[in-house]
Structure 1
Amino acid sequence: MRADRPEGPDRRIHFGGDYYPEQWPEEVWAEDVQLMKEAGVTLVTAGVFAWARVEPRPGEWDFGWFDRVMDNLAQAGLRVCLATMTASPPPWLSRMHPEILPETEDGRRKWPGGRQHYCPSSPVYRQYATRLVEQVATRYAQHPALEVWHVGNEYGCHIRQCFCDVSAADFRRWLAERYGTVDVLNEAWSTAFWSQRYDSFEEVLPPRLAPTFANPSQQLDYLRFSDDALRQCYLAELAVLRRLTPDTRVTTNLMAHHKPVDAFEWARHQDVMSLDFYQDPYDPDEHLRAAFNFDLMRSALGGQPWMLLEQAPSAVNWRPRNSPKPPGAMRLWSWQAVAQGADAIMYFQWRQSLGGAEKFHSAMLPHGGTDTRAFREVSELGREFASVPEIAGTRSRAETALLTDWNSWWALELDSHPSTALDQALINRAHHRPLFDAGVACDILPPSSELAGYKLVVVPNLYLLRADDARRLARYVEDGGQLLVSFFSGIVDERDRVHPGGYPAPLRQLLGLRVEEFWPLDEGVRVPVEGVASAGPELEPGTEGDLWSEAVELEGAEAVAVFGSGELVGRPAVTRHQYGSGTAWYVGTRLGHTAMRGLLDHVRQAAGVDPVLPGLPSGVQATVREDDEHSFLFLLNHGDDSAVVALPEPMSDRLSPGSGAVTSVSLPPRGVAVMER
């Protein structure tokens, strides 16, 4: 495996974008390479949608044109993130084998004409895909431009689940491997309910459209199976690449906090994590969504630098209204990715398409050519990244961990629950934002992780909690850790069966409480939450909770806040429990941001977790990346006003050479500074 940190002249922040020479006449290619060099491009992604061009007919190969593309890039000193070309099957494949086409839960077939028109379980698709990968890897294994392999593309973007007969057979095979016997399956799925007992695996179907609520355990397993089916496509291609190019790194581009694809499971099979992230310029809090996703990518492979493989230079084409990024936003958001661990900043796409569904999606080189704001901003950013190659390979260190779990996410958002308004992504970000705003570094991990090195662990929601993970949390607190858990956690096991013993059974002793009843709040309803004098953090007058409430009975914990009115008036809303040498906190409602920030500030201070810089101005992000030789402090102003940041010691701004050492930094709106001790 290639090292994740390059040395010598190869140490740099890679910069570039998706390159589609097949969309253009060959005489344009020389201009592409010339302008890439002018823009500071060092790496391009190529071949993503080239299958129909390199295999125009079954088994007939035409790589000559792509050879010239690779050679042109290599001669210019550019590197290639080389796609396996399998993301969109050519029309001839679905004409010959219509059985590869996916079906929806109500039996409708999805047809060619877009992309990703394949059933993930299809052995025919995998056969043709791996045959193509064999050709590509054999041909370019030793090519001097090859930097990293890019397998598939945005798995689960358009086809998240398939319900066809091929998938049904694959699901039955998967269940037989998971449960062994149908009796074990019946127990796991609670099939005594509604006369659903199976006599053999052959009777089991995917959770297709049914008259009423489907079996939740069946739905959960189908979500697991669907993720695994997508991953099996990836692993089939990976096996070819490992055999033919064992020393070349492999990645695939995940989408932002993408529910169908378990990032932690996929990370186990990648050499470097890659993310596609498209900010919405209309959303003033978009940097907060980015912050969560960037921390997730950095954490998924133990803090290793990752790749922002796709973002938009300006506008996208697929939202109802597509605003361009205002001046400075593209630079700010790109540097945010670097500040949170990225060693490659890439775009979709290099040259803006003239036709097709993405012709109005922005590009590094727009329709208007080089005399455009987008090209000027991109080129300037390329020069900035080239000026600080030492950042590549440095890492961040966190004393706080936020736990999330895809299995729990899948189970939480199924139907027939106390409330279907719970949104795991929003709940996660509501707990991540107070840490981000305070300037606290945070790793995002699965609950199976080793927690001993963290001073504070935050659990936004683990509705599904395995018994061994619950014991791990208890040991963490018993050994002196500070743990904060929020509502509706520890309710069911991995089969989506309620833990016996009263809610939240696996956490009752740790939290020192029992939840007697859930009281979800109606849309728009808020309940006052009042602090208990001298018991904990002060809550501002007017603090409220929404979305959720619970009837909590104390079993050793103490209330630090109570509900101020309604059916639960006077009942605990926030609790604290000394357990062993540590403390476990519980939040039984969704607090507003200000109250949640105050609570988490109190808890992290008790844990001894300090921000990167104290007293950060509102809207300013501060992060650190370092190694044995360098320590970089990144300051980014996401606010609407200018800000002055006091530094703990004299530092130099690497983006303003010659400015000398300073003790404070002035940041305009969308301003960026990279300080080095």
Structure 2
Amino acid sequence: MVKKLVEDKIKLGVCYYPEHWSEELWEDDYRRMKELGFTYVRMGEFAWTIFEPEEGVFSFELFDRAVAKAHEYGLKVIMGTPTATPPAWLTHKYPEVLNVTQDGISYQHGARRHYNYNSETYQRLSSIIVTKMVKHYKDHPAIVGWQIDNELNCEMDVFYSEADHKAFREWAKAKYETLDNLNQAWGTVFWNQTYTSWDQVYLTRKTVPNSPNPHHMLDEKRFISDSTISFAKVQADILRKHAPDQWVTTNGMFNHLDNHKMTNELLDFFAYDSYPNFGRVIEDKSEKPLRDRKWSWNLSIVRSISPNFAIFEQQSGPGGWVTRMEQPSPKPGQLRLWTYQSIAHGADMVMYFRWRTATKGTEIYWHGINDYHNLPNRRVKEVDKVSKEIQLIGEKIAGSSYKAEVALVTSYDNEWDGEFDKWYGPYASKSKDAWIKAFQYNHVPADAVYLRNETTINELKKYKVLIYPHPAILTKQQAELFKEYVKEGGKIIFGCRSGYKDETGQTYMKAFPGYLADLVGVTVEDFTRVAPFEEVPSINFKGENVLEANDFNEILHLQSDDVEVIGTYSNAYFEGKPALVKRNYGLGSSYYFGGVFNLEQASLLLKEFELNNYQDQFELPEEIELAIRHNDGIEYTFLLNYSERPQEIIVKKEFRNILTGNIVTNKHTLNPYDVLVLES
């Protein structure tokens, strides 16, 4: 079942921490929130000690007043369960709840997310506080929903406490049933790692050399995800039992967590925390870096979890902790741009982080809409402008769907295994970035698809083209699914290092690309990495373009007469050998590339696929992102200018800009960081 946010119109809100501020400020804060057109206020997720100042003693007075005052101003409250930050009394009395490094060193109280999911003590105490809170607030007219914890697996996504080792042992027993099955799955016969007793089974620990068993490592990631979901389920079950009319979600998207599974099993919809400024400060020396525009792809992944979703933290100011992440302030227009970036990709609720910049603690430089002094500033004015626009268009856009003909495919197994396996993990990252840039700079809207055992042919048939760059782990079942997709008219492309591993991460005793060979019509006769000191081989693409073949080269052997060679190698010992092939299969076609994709290659292949880049409607410079949401036969085209310079666009037919009501046609100048939302 698809889990998505259901709103009758686009709504805005803000994150607020009443426990941080004098109560004298609350009324003025809420009044100004309402004047800005906000619907929601989110609170409570870091306030365990306020709710339970000592074990078994509960106090709701402060938040009762804060929620009541918000209700006076017609604001709806989203309450967070406070388990992301256990109280000092808890960690002092029960040190077993703390997380532990792989070296066995315990983390200490003083920051956040320093607990472990599998501590029975922490689960028990978390259950108590969540139960007390939901029973207290289940009938409050202001409270509409709950956020479980805060940013699960943020800051820390590996766990090695004694409780985790014990839980992993039980998890492995349940999965494999016998030690023989476990030893087979982990390939423990190699280096004499065979387990002869369950007591010998732990999460990975430091080894000499420091290279743990890769199949063990893959299962560790699966276990961490299951542990996280299990911890969230404890809370979700309590919330649903006592407050069935209030929705349940959680926020953030971090590593070693199957967010699709968690959402499908536990949540009403998924919520994301969007901070595009990260993209502006992370050093990126690649060709044509996307910077803040890269967040559009993050939002596409979120959309694969919930087609319509919420943003629980939308960046609204310069970001920084006292120890890291010194980010510049959003330039005039960028706060509005990033809000529409989220909405263009499926957000029907956007809440800004935060109302006012904290005056204390680690995040005193993580700025909100308001500064410390509470005086008017340009960020408040920009939010006000967005809010007024949203009130005009919100009913049109809410509930509409993002429109894409192409999807970039991945899987949690390959992402987690690729963290450790340097023979394809880094290539997957490079190729993914190349394709995302190709979509963005060629104005091709794209979706993300996470391949799962439950994935159906109907889910794939929504797309004309699927791109799965380097799926090392690929099962026979998945290969059959792709064959059916292509037979029915789809097009699919794979890159090097595809299809050679099973679900354990062990390699098949099959010619590469394993179960894909029948679909693509080739096997790999030879392969090599490109050494740093070597001249990079070239690819002759259709005799028209000469492309670099960086990083890795597979030399392909044709297994069928109907395979068309559309790219051959040159400038290498495998001169003239196939590098890129196409095979018609049923009504569709498959492509196999024996290398790692770059932007130029991906852009040329997009032209092969004849995808809609809306050239019949617009001429757009690369600096503009094009995104489409549609509903009841009406399309809403978002044009987003990520440049600090004006951009001239050509509009080839008449559209109405629903932000202003004006007709847009012919030449139009989009100002720096400006946005158009066009109705056709």
Query: TM-score, normalization: structure 2?
Result: 0.92
Partner SS for 2:103: coil
Please state if 1:445 is matched with 2:445: no
Whole-Å separation in 1 of the counterparts to 2:61 and 2:484: 60
The more displaced of 162-171 and 391-400 is: 391-400
Residues 393-443 of structure 1: CA deviation (Å, up to 9, x unaligned) = 11123222221111111112214x5467x1544432322322233322322
Residues 61-119 of structure 1: CA deviation (Å, up to 9, x unaligned) = 11011011111111111112211121110011111111111111111111110011111
Whole-Å separation in 1 of the counterparts to 2:359 and 2:583: 62
Whole-Å separation in 2 of the counterparts to 1:272 and 1:630: 25
The correspondence for 1:589, drawn from 579, 595, 598, is 595
Partner SS for 1:113: coil
Q: Are the equivalent residues in 1 in contact too, given 2:442–2:613 (CA < 8 A)?
A: no
Change (3 A) 1:634 1:551: same
The correspondence for 2:65, drawn from 56, 64, 68, is 68
Partner SS for 1:558: strand
Change (3 A) 1:143 1:651: same
Partner SS for 1:519: strand
Q: CA deviation at 1:282?
A: 4.0
Q: Are the equivalent residues in 1 in contact too, given 2:650–2:665 (CA < 8 A)?
A: no
Aligned residues: 660
Q: CA deviation at 1:629?
A: 7.4
Q: Are the equivalent residues in 2 in contact too, given 1:439–1:612 (CA < 8 A)?
A: no
Q: CA deviation at 1:524?
A: 8.1
Q: Are the equivalent residues in 2 in contact too, given 1:563–1:569 (CA < 8 A)?
A: yes
The correspondence for 1:382, drawn from 380, 384, 387, is 387
Q: Are the equivalent residues in 2 in contact too, given 1:464–1:493 (CA < 8 A)?
A: yes
Corresponding position of 1:676: 679
Change (3 A) 1:312 1:169: same
Whole-Å separation in 1 of the counterparts to 2:197 and 2:126: 33
The correspondence for 2:24, drawn from 14, 23, 27, is 27
Which amino acid is the alignment partner of residue 20 of structure 1? Y
Corresponding position of 2:511: 502
Q: CA deviation at 1:259?
A: 2.7
Q: CA deviation at 1:159?
A: 2.5
Q: CA deviation at 1:609?
A: 8.1
The correspondence for 1:292, drawn from 297, 309, 320, is 297
Partner SS for 2:402: coil
Which amino acid is the alignment partner of residue 248 of structure 1? Q
Tell me the C-alpha RMSD between the 2 structures. 2.3
Partner SS for 2:32: helix
Change (3 A) 1:404 1:528: same
Unpaired segments ≥5 residues, structure 2: 283-288
Please state if 1:530 is matched with 2:539: yes
Corresponding position of 1:370: 375
Alignment of 1:64-463 (within 5 A): 64-212=61-209, 213-255=211-253, 258-268=254-264, 269-280=266-277, 281-282=280-281, 285-301=290-306, 303=307, 305-318=308-321, 319-390=324-395, 391-415=397-421, 417-418=422-423, 422=426, 424-448=428-452, 449-450=455-456, 451-463=460-472
Please state if 1:37 is matched with 2:34: yes
Q: CA deviation at 1:555?
A: 1.8
Partner SS for 1:388: helix
The correspondence for 1:464, drawn from 473, 488, 493, is 473
Residues 474-517 of structure 1: CA deviation (Å, up to 9, x unaligned) = 11112221101122111211101112211111111111111234
Which amino acid is the alignment partner of residue 175 of structure 1? A
Which amino acid is the alignment partner of residue 674 of structure 1? V
Change (3 A) 1:526 1:473: farther
Q: CA deviation at 1:664?
A: 5.5
Q: CA deviation at 1:329?
A: 1.3
Q: CA deviation at 1:614?
A: 5.1
Which amino acid is the alignment partner of residue 214 of structure 1? P
Residues 108-132 of structure 1: CA deviation (Å, up to 9, x unaligned) = 1111100111111111111111111
Please state if 1:513 is matched with 2:525: no
Q: CA deviation at 1:642?
A: 2.7
Change (3 A) 1:253 1:174: same
Corresponding position of 1:653: 657
Change (3 A) 1:533 1:378: closer
Q: CA deviation at 1:613?
A: 4.4
The more displaced of 570-579 and 283-292 is: 283-292
The more displaced of 311-320 and 120-129 is: 311-320
Whole-Å separation in 2 of the counterparts to 1:520 and 1:548: 4
The more displaced of 283-292 and 480-489 is: 283-292
Which amino acid is the alignment partner of residue 444 of structure 2? V
Q: CA deviation at 1:520?
A: 2.1
Whole-Å separation in 1 of the counterparts to 2:678 and 2:268: 29
Which amino acid is the alignment partner of residue 310 of structure 2? M
Please state if 1:487 is matched with 2:496: yes
Whole-Å separation in 2 of the counterparts to 1:107 and 1:175: 21
Residues 525-571 of structure 1: CA deviation (Å, up to 9, x unaligned) = 6624333546xxx42x4x21322222322222332112221333322
Q: Are the equivalent residues in 1 in contact too, given 2:471–2:499 (CA < 8 A)?
A: yes
Residues 439-472 of structure 1: CA deviation (Å, up to 9, x unaligned) = 2232211223231232111112211112211111
Whole-Å separation in 2 of the counterparts to 1:311 and 1:661: 29
Whole-Å separation in 2 of the counterparts to 1:214 and 1:149: 39
Which amino acid is the alignment partner of residue 188 of structure 2? T
Whole-Å separation in 2 of the counterparts to 1:56 and 1:169: 31
Partner SS for 2:417: helix
Q: Are the equivalent residues in 2 in contact too, given 1:151–1:234 (CA < 8 A)?
A: yes
Corresponding position of 2:286: none
Q: CA deviation at 1:612?
A: 8.8
Change (3 A) 1:532 1:337: closer
Q: CA deviation at 1:342?
A: 0.7
Q: CA deviation at 1:572?
A: 2.2
Change (3 A) 1:522 1:147: farther
Change (3 A) 1:81 1:475: same
Q: CA deviation at 1:595?
A: 2.7
Whole-Å separation in 2 of the counterparts to 1:459 and 1:4: 25
Q: Are the equivalent residues in 2 in contact too, given 1:532–1:560 (CA < 8 A)?
A: yes
Q: CA deviation at 1:636?
A: 1.0
Change (3 A) 1:526 1:59: farther
Partner SS for 1:650: strand
Whole-Å separation in 2 of the counterparts to 1:631 and 1:144: 36
Q: CA deviation at 1:240?
A: 0.6
Q: Are the equivalent residues in 2 in contact too, given 1:16–1:350 (CA < 8 A)?
A: no
Which amino acid is the alignment partner of residue 666 of structure 1? T
Q: CA deviation at 1:583?
A: 0.9
